[in-house]
């Protein structure tokens, strides 16, 4: 198959003769409307629309984004098993529609902060695959210069990657306070998992955000398990979208990129219009265990995981929509898959050949903009230098 800007050519070999069947991009449906699942509402009279429009370009963009995150996470899994990536590593495969849908509904100037399952959001916030994988392998070319690892990646308007359960939620409320203070019409998307949903600091943040009407979208990515504990065993109420009590909430199908996009648009409009915070619960699923040290099958069955993969996979769902509505061809999507696979392979090559940061850079960047200072090492006579 050959994919170029103007047409898609499929080569068919018949009796030794080569027949070229050319299909112009003009043959594809440029836009279609899809029915999406109704959101459950809390303290809202109306919710997001029940239909979503998607252009062919948007569909291909969402497909590329989700497929890239999937491939990148599978490569991280492979590198971890080869002991090239060490330490904590929490993978995002299965939850790609959340990151892709949220990013499609907010502006690049809006802010986002998440927990430690952060690779997908690091990519959607604009960081190159090779910088993410190089960070995972602890190399100099990593997005945090090889010092952050899996849980501590950052980019403009992206505040990580936070390793302490629930700690990013008050920080997200603070970022929303800064948006309000500066009057820039921006908002903060503050993400946490169902495992963090019972933390006291969440409710303190909800209270302040509601009092001050902060432009904050609090999003619970409910992937059904907090580490190895199912939500039913961990929470007296699993209606996470109602947990804000006095804050309006939405429960959304987190496996459908269009559902997530429309709900996030609705939530963003709510925040920007000065109505204060809103809570979204995205019902999603992770295919891997909690982290790479968790095989993920001691508290759930392989059949359960396989059933979600076969019936509710976010990438397969989008692919079916594109194909059944003549918005793309199977050959074109295959070309995209091949290109992504190559990009991820090249990034992995870079991440395994790039040098580790030198020891003298260990203490650099402790402060953002300071004159050089001495830092005490592990004992009083070991002196290291920190440069900003």
Which tens digit of pLDDT belongs to each residue from 96-149?
A: 999 999 999 999 999 999 999 999 999 999 999 999 999 999 999 999 999 999
Q: Would you list the DSSP string of 315-380?
A: HHHHHHHHHHTTSS-HHHHHHHHHHHHHHHHHHHHHHHHSPPPPGGGTTTTSSSS---EEEE-SST
The answer on pLDDT for 35 being more than 70 is yes
Alpha helix ranges (H) inside 106-213: 119-124, 129-136, 168-182, 200-212
Q: From residue 147, how far is each of 152, 268, 344, 376 by CA, in Å?
A: 8, 34, 21, 18
Percentage of the chain with pLDDT > 90?
A: 87
Average pLDDT of the segment spanning 247-260: 98
- Phi, psi at 14, each rounded to 5°: -125, 120
pLDDT value of residue 18: 47
The tens digit of pLDDT for each residue in 162-202 reads 999 999 999 999 999 999 999 999 999 999 999 999 999 99
The answer on pLDDT for 254 being more than 90 is yes
- Ranges in the chain annotated CATH 3.40.50.970: 31-357
CA 294 to chain centroid: 20
DSSP class of residue 196 equals: G
**pTM score of the predicted model:** 0.92
Is residue 166 a contact partner of residue 196, using CB atoms and an 8 Å limit? yes
User: Which CATH class name applies to 31-357?
Assistant: alpha beta
Instruction: Read off the pLDDT band of 24 (50, 70, 90).
Output: low
pLDDT value of residue 11: 41
Q: What is the mean pLDDT of the chain?
A: 93
The answer on pLDDT for 5 being more than 70 is no
Name the nearest CA neighbour of 89 among 153, 139, 157, 144. Answer: 153
Q: Please, is 247 exposed, middle or buried when counting C-beta atoms within 10 Å of its C-beta (0-12, 13-18, 19+)?
A: buried
Is residue 209 a contact partner of residue 170, using CB atoms and an 8 Å limit? no
Tell me the C-alpha distance between 154 and 161, whole Å.
7
Question: Element (H or E) spanning 75, and its range?
Answer: helix 56-81
Tell me the C-alpha distance between 382 and 113, whole Å.
36
SS3 at position 269? helix
């Amino acid at each position: 198959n050959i994919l170029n800007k103007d047409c898609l050519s499929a080569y068919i070999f018949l009796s030794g003769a080569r027949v070229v069947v050319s299909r112009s991009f003009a043959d594809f449906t440029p836009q279609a409307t899809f029915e999406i699942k109704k959101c459950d509402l809390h303290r809202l009279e109306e919710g997001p629309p029940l239909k979503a429009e998607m252009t062919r370009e948007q569909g291909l963009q969402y497909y590329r984004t989700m497929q890239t995150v999937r491939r990148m996470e599978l490569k991280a899994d492979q590198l971890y098993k080869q002991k090239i990536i060490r330490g904590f590593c929490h993978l995002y495969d299965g939850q790609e529609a959340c990151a892709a849908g949220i990013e499609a509904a907010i502006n690049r100037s809006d802010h986002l902060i998440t927990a430690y399952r952060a690779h997908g959001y690091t990519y959607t916030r604009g960081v190159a695959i090779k910088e993410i994988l190089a960070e995972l392998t602890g190399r100099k070319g990593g997005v945090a210069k090889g010092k952050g690892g899996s849980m501590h990646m950052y980019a403009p308007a992206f505040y990580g990657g936070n390793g302490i359960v629930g700690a990013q939620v008050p920080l997200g409320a603070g970022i929303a306070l800064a948006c309000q203070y500066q009057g820039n019409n921006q908002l903060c998307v503050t993400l946490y998992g169902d495992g963090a949903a019972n933390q006291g600091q969440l409710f303190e943040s909800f209270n302040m955000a509601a009092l001050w009407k902060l432009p904050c979208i609090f999003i619970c990515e409910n992937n059904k398990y907090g580490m190895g504990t199912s939500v039913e065993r961990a929470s007296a109420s699993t209606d996470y979208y109602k947990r804000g009590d006095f804050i309006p909430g939405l429960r959304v199908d987190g496996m459908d990129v269009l559902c997530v996009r429309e709900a996030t648009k609705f939530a963003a409009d709510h925040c920007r219009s000065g109505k204060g915070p809103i809570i979204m619960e995205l019902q999603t699923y992770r295919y891997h265990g909690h982290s790479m040290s968790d095989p993920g099958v001691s508290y759930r069955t392989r059949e359960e995981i396989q059933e979600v993969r076969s019936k509710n996979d976010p990438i397969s769902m989008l692919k079916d929509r594109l194909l059944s509505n003549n918005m793309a061809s199977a050959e074109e999507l295959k070309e995209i898959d091949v290109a992504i696979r190559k990009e991820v392979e090249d990034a992995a090559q870079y991440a395994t050949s790039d040098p580790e940061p030198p020891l003298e850079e260990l203490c650099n960047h402790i402060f953002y903009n300071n004159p050089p200072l001495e830092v005490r090492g592990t004992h009083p006579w070991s002196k290291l230098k920190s440069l900003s």
